[in-house]
Structure 1
Amino acid sequence: MNTPDDVVKLNRSYTILISLIVALGGFLLGFDSAVISGAVKGITVYFEMTEWMLGFSVGCVVFGAMAGNLMAGPLADRFGRKKVLIIVAALFTISATWSAFATGYTEFIIARIIGGIGIGGAILIAPIYIAEIAPPKLRGSLVSFNQLNIVIGISVAYFSNYFLVNIEGESWRWMLGVEAIPAAIYFLSLFAVPKSPRWLIQKTGNEEIAQKTLAKIGGEEYAKSTVSEIQRGLAKKETKGKLSDFFKSRYATIMIIAFGIAFFQQITGINAVFYYAPTIFEQAGGSTDSSFLQAIVVGLTNLVFTLVAMWLIDRLGRKPLLLIGTTFMTIALLMAAYAFNNATYDFSEKTLSKIDNKELNMVLNDFQGKSFESQAALFEAVEPKLEGSQFLDFKRNQITNFIQINATLVLIAILLYVASFAISLGPVMWTLLSEIFPSKIKGIAISVVGFFNSLVSFSVTQIFPWELSNLGPTITFAIYALLSFCAMLFVYKFVIETKGRTLEEVEELLIRK
């Protein structure tokens, strides 16, 4: 016979195991988002992409995620969380496999969008399922598994890219295709996961199966009391909020905070850094191997400081973390802009020897012995000498051979930026959104704000390659620094502190304002 401690340990282990299986969706989300960073150069050459085509091929995942955001909630309510998660796992598997074998630009985009739909479903449904199945004392830590797994997925993607980049042939296919392995494991593992007890009672009325699942989690008494609590909640459930509720003046302050934070979380450029990390480091003159290695450091920094944020958020508070994070994001981006602004572009026998295109080399030899103080001056001098395709090749692939820059400062700036984001706008936004919305409109409000957040993310990733090629890294990072400074001002003026307040107190405070 088990002692009470044995029972608690057994139930805790069972719940943690289920949560870890479901949270694999977060791992795949993070992996899928970051893995494209290593494939950028390969797919650009293979599919002969322009800057806008490249931007869309990277950002279309976010485009798919927006569709996933809109579809996942209603489908999960109708067919159950478990079934939707199984579909999500299948989408990840299909996307990874198809992306790896794609031979045309259009089918590559379709494959990536399919993965994006999976991302949109995973980011909403995995935490909902975990929250519904977890006992109250474990709920916070178990739901955080999903966010932690997203960050781990990003880090593993950078590691994977580093080890696969030197494979002979088209290494980008291996980078994208390897995701099919964890996706298939996720798909098969989900069949061992029970259906959400709350969904069973709310949608099917099947209390018997729900009670069996709850008994495995916390014992018979826990199962009975939880079923009774769910039934009481159903009996007094409020009418669901509608889209028109957003326009009520009483919710104005809440909407300003929600849409403002959702806007600044993405417009400050975080996904541009995650999706194009090796490209940025190559712009700073790094070799392919070193740029992929530096991307790994970016992923590990993101992981470590996400853990720091999880530890600080209930100790230091939401607003202080946001103010600290946005301040140092601004400083970091200004450092990156400063480093690129002070770079020079030198044409010497040594740098010219790195150009393997003989025709291009012959034209550029006219500049031997010259040095340019800015990228704009360099482009102004070089463009008239080159044909359109040659100039495009020069901007994308050859310019890094001539840059003389403080690469250490660039690396420090990017790491500081990622660390600052990871303790602030990254995790705090979702915590705030779960706290500031009244229960009546919480479901639909988070979906709409999440959709808006994805739309801003798509815009950033779409434009970034064009910015880097046409505006140059100095102006690009300066723009993001300005936006980060605006984010800091927004937080200072509009965001309230929710630490230590009940949800009812937060609601009363915001609606009264």
Structure 2
Amino acid sequence: MAGGSFAPAGVAKERAEQYQGRVTGYVVVACIVAAIGGSIFGYDIGISGGVTSMDGFLKKFFPSVYKNKRHAHENNYCKYDNHGLAAFTSSLYLAGLVASLMASTVTSKYGRRASIICGGISFLIGAALNASASNIAMLISGRIMLGVGIGFGNQAIPLYLSEMAPTHLRGGLNMMFQLATTLGIFTANMINFGTQKLEPWGWRLSLGLAAIPALFMTLGGILLPETPNSLIERGSNEKGRKVLERIRGLGDVDAEFQDMIEASKFANSIKHPFRNMLKKRNRPELVMAIFMPMFQILTGINSILFYAPVLFQTMGFGANASLYSSALTGAVLVSSTFISIATVDRLGRRVLLISGGMVMITCQVIVAIIMGIKFGDNQELSKGYSVLVVVMICLFVVAFGWSWGPLGWTVPSEIFPLELRSAGQSITVAVNLLFTFIIAQIFLALLCNLKFGIFLFFAGWITIMTIFVYLFLPETKGVPIEEMTFMWNKHWFWKRINVDHSEADTTVG
């Protein structure tokens, strides 16, 4: 079947008002277990940032950085500018980018659980390699395996959460992924705070403990049920309906089940989803899959979290104080994610994204002014100004935690029709990791050359993305995942370029 009898998303008509179901303990537990996979991404962000400021790690692998760090006359903004150190942090993201595209096929053909399990095993291997690394090659090999794990996990887990959650609570349950990510960051910061005192081998313990969340992710993937959408897409209609009845807590799931059946028929007619995504009718989803993860990284949050110990040492904090301050930002990020979970399905996605953007712009500009006026080469900020900078950074993190942090993953995972969902999420993850790689690769050089202007650089991008959301992102709150196409056709901009429903898909081989 070519799909001419279906709307572009594969669903013939809107049935949202007929959906039945409630939040069951079964679906909550399943979402919590799945979201644990997000902790591996967060743990790596937090651990790597702290490890790269530890003397024992720098002495062994990057002695030139250690030497620069010890020189009082070194430019405050350039102490950590080193291509080798940037390559260490960035290798993971390139590996994750490639792995996320590979994961699309695994997720589509073998289910969401298969990719979650693959990701957990790969991350487990990477943690073991990094903990016993004796040279740069072994260290980067471990980073690559970690990247493969993150690529598979980030590709499959948001999809799993969006498909398992009931429509009216999809946003909040999907954000369990971001909550796990922030808990991973906070946990890593706490571990770094303890292991940095265990010189010269504390960094090994920090890197090796990544095996714990990886183990939870692997076991979770083995124990979890498959999503009904995935089961039906792969021909197991009866089993898919049983899982749907179980997670909705009742037997009357006819409307939602029929949407899944129609979507799966259309999905199975698409043999080349990446090619099909280039069709005009899929333009809105493709644009969001590219711009949402790109903008999430261009807020500058990864730079602040990943290099928080470096940033705070650069501003004159001692080693202990820098790790303590970065642990504070991690705790703030965890707390702020609860704001989003509590409000996203009531206030909607747009309100949180726009308000978060406005607060982040303000914080970045204030930090830039303080750093520009009060901080320069061979200088340290006074205690009062240092505290003010930390407060502004924490407020920035709070705003990110209720807006672009969780919603940068939630929105792309819920907007794609079934036939493009796996490929679309792969693009989202690939773009996220590509820009994470770019920023990780150039951040230290930008910090060295732009100095306080680095904060204005990110503030400019946040301004652009806030305007983008206001103009081009429709509200997805309360829209069933299989009926998102109708939403685009009602939007003031996308309805002008969206394809007419009569266009049949001919990509069958």
TM-score (normalised: structure 1): 0.77
Q: Are residues 288 and 255 of structure 1, via their aligned partners in 2, closer, same or farther at CA, if it must alter by over 3 Å?
A: same
- Check if 1:46 corresponds to 2:60: yes
Of residues 274-283 and 252-261 in structure 1, the stretch that sits farther from structure 2 once superposed is: 252-261
Correspondence for 1:424:
403
The structural deviation recorded for 1:178 is 1.3
- Check if 1:477 corresponds to 2:467: no
- Check if 1:259 corresponds to 2:290: yes
SS at match of 2:36: helix
Gaps of 5+ in 2: 1-20, 66-81, 498-509
- Check if 1:458 corresponds to 2:437: yes
Q: Aligned AA for 2:488?
A: E
Which of residues 454, 468, 477 in structure 2 aligns to 1:490?
468
Contact between 1:250 and 1:511, CA under 8 Å: does it hold in 2?
A: no
5 Å-filtered alignment, 1:319-398, equals 319-344=350-375, 374-375=376-377
Q: Are residues 243 and 212 of structure 1, via their aligned partners in 2, closer, same or farther at CA, if it must alter by over 3 Å?
A: closer
TM-score (normalised: structure 2): 0.78
The structural deviation recorded for 1:89 is 1.3
Correspondence for 1:74:
105
Gaps of 5+ in 1: 1-7, 345-373, 376-398
Q: Are residues 328 and 434 of structure 1, via their aligned partners in 2, closer, same or farther at CA, if it must alter by over 3 Å?
A: same
Deviations 1:14-66 (A, max 9, x none): 33333322221112221122211110123333212661111121122222221
5 Å-filtered alignment, 1:209-248, equals 217=247, 221=251, 230-231=260-261, 233-235=263-265, 237=267, 239-240=269-270, 242-248=273-279
Q: Aligned AA for 2:315?
A: A
Of residues 226-235 and 36-45 in structure 1, the stretch that sits farther from structure 2 once superposed is: 226-235
The structural deviation recorded for 1:446 is 3.6
Correspondence for 1:99:
130
5 Å-filtered alignment, 1:137-216, equals 139-203=170-234, 205=236, 207=238
Contact between 2:233 and 2:265, CA under 8 Å: does it hold in 1?
A: no
Q: Percent identity?
A: 28
SS at match of 2:369: helix
Q: Aligned AA for 2:333?
A: N
- What value does the CA root-mean-square deviation take over the aligned residues? 3.2
Of residues 446-455 and 157-166 in structure 1, the stretch that sits farther from structure 2 once superposed is: 446-455
Point out the structure with the larger helix share. 1
Q: Are residues 440 and 302 of structure 1, via their aligned partners in 2, closer, same or farther at CA, if it must alter by over 3 Å?
A: same
The structural deviation recorded for 1:285 is 0.9
Deviations 1:272-298 (A, max 9, x none): 111111111111111111111111111
The structural deviation recorded for 1:145 is 2.0
Alignment partners' CA distance in 2, 1:119 and 1:409: 35
Aligned residues: 449
Q: Are residues 84 and 56 of structure 1, via their aligned partners in 2, closer, same or farther at CA, if it must alter by over 3 Å?
A: same
Contact between 1:327 and 1:488, CA under 8 Å: does it hold in 2?
A: yes
Alignment partners' CA distance in 2, 1:220 and 1:435: 23
Correspondence for 1:111:
142
Q: Are residues 41 and 219 of structure 1, via their aligned partners in 2, closer, same or farther at CA, if it must alter by over 3 Å?
A: closer
SS at match of 2:345: coil
The structural deviation recorded for 1:104 is 1.0
* Higher radius of gyration, 1 or 2: 1
Alignment partners' CA distance in 2, 1:153 and 1:163: 16
Alignment partners' CA distance in 1, 2:244 and 2:416: 29
Which of residues 484, 488, 496 in structure 2 aligns to 1:512?
496
Q: Aligned AA for 1:276?
A: Y
Q: Aligned AA for 1:511?
A: K
Q: Are residues 214 and 247 of structure 1, via their aligned partners in 2, closer, same or farther at CA, if it must alter by over 3 Å?
A: closer
Q: Are residues 242 and 71 of structure 1, via their aligned partners in 2, closer, same or farther at CA, if it must alter by over 3 Å?
A: closer
The structural deviation recorded for 1:201 is 4.5
Higher relative contact order (CA 8 A, sep 6+): 2
Correspondence for 2:45:
33
Which of residues 413, 423, 426 in structure 2 aligns to 1:447?
426
- Check if 1:125 corresponds to 2:121: no
